[in-house]
Amino acid sequence: MARKTIIAGNWKMNLLPEEGEMLVVSLKTAFENKKNLEVVVFPPIGLIPFAREWIYDSVIRYGAQNCWHEVSGPYTGETSPELLKSLGCSYCLVGHSERREIFEESNELVGRKSQALVEMGIIPIVCVGESLAEREAAIHFEKIQQQVESVFEAVEKESWIHLVFAYEPIWAIGTGKTATPKQAEEIHQFIRKIIRQKSGDVLADAISILYGGSAKPGNAEELLAQDNIDGLLVGGASLVAEDFSNIIKAY
């Protein structure tokens, strides 16, 4: 099965409705749809009902940057996968390093969120990655292995096919310092090996693994040319229509 290439834009806590609309309107006409290509934007939660209106006539999909793992209840400020489903989200990011670091989200919580999402038919894009200190201490493989394995422990086997991973070295996020294609490919191969051990060849060859961390038009083509890099999760450059569409065109 050919893997899907996903070019995803994480807007983080940026853009007001007018700005988001302008960005999406420009993107809609800025690239050619290709087989196996999925373009996804992740606006802040308050813009999602607007995104639905902006995007309904386009191949672009949208998703949320985070969710809680319960359907409803006393979780002030949180958003359930059920609500995301009713708002038309196809994807949801989970375990972004900003959530793991600032909001102290554990591997266990990331796993529970992933399971809650697949139950709702929403594809979780599970972010994993190491800090600079962990890379320098050569414990990055171990950290990533724990992050990936905990997802397989939490998500029911029948839904493994719906998982997507994103390798995002923390030292490359928002820093302008991209992992070299060789560094990224090494970790992507490692993640695919873990998936292969957990789930066998069919799933290992079908699950997309994205790279994220200062991806931009100038490095997208080389990153996407790596055998195990199946797309990009883009932060800063996804806020600029020309940059994001040039990244999409690099595929």
From 98, 105, 134, 168, active-site residue: 168
Kindly state the smallest distance separating residue 231's Cβ from ligand PEP, in Å.
12
Cβ-based nearer residue to ligand PEP, 111 or 212: 212
Q: Is 96 a catalytic residue?
A: yes
Cβ-based nearer residue to ligand PEP, 90 or 199: 90
Q: Strand 164-167 vs strand 123-128: parallel, antiparallel, or unpaired? A: parallel
Kindly state the smallest distance separating residue 215's Cβ from ligand PEP, in Å.
5
Q: What is the CA radius of gyration of the chain?
A: 17
Provide the binding-site residues for ligand PEP, judged by CB under 6 A.
Answer: 10, 168, 173-174, 212-215, 233-237
Position of minimal CB gap to ligand PEP: 235
Cβ-based nearer residue to ligand PEP, 148 or 160: 148
Please check whether residue 189 is in contact with residue 182, taking contact to mean a CB–CB distance below 8 angstroms. no
Please check whether residue 3 is in contact with residue 206, taking contact to mean a CB–CB distance below 8 angstroms. yes
Residue 103 CB: number of other CB atoms within 10 A?
A: 10
Segments in the chain forming alpha helices (H) = 17-28, 48-55, 81-86, 97-102, 107-119, 132-136, 140-154, 181-199, 201-206, 217-224, 241-249
Kindly state the smallest distance separating residue 178's Cβ from ligand PEP, in Å.
8
Cβ-based nearer residue to ligand PEP, 36 or 175: 175
Q: Is 162 a catalytic residue?
A: no
Distance between CA atoms of 98 and 52, rounded to whole angstroms? Answer: 25
The C-alpha torsion from 46 through 50 and 52 to 54, rounded to 10°, is: -140
Q: Given its phi and psi angles, is residue 155 left (phi above 0), alpha (psi -120 to 50 degrees) or beta? A: beta
Q: Give which of 199, 112, 119 is closest to 161, Cα–Cα.
A: 199
DSSP class of 180? P
Cβ-based nearer residue to ligand PEP, 55 or 125: 125
From 38, 69, 96, 98, active-site residue: 96
Q: Please report, as a single letter, which amino acid is at residue 147.
A: Q
Active-site residue numbers? 96, 168
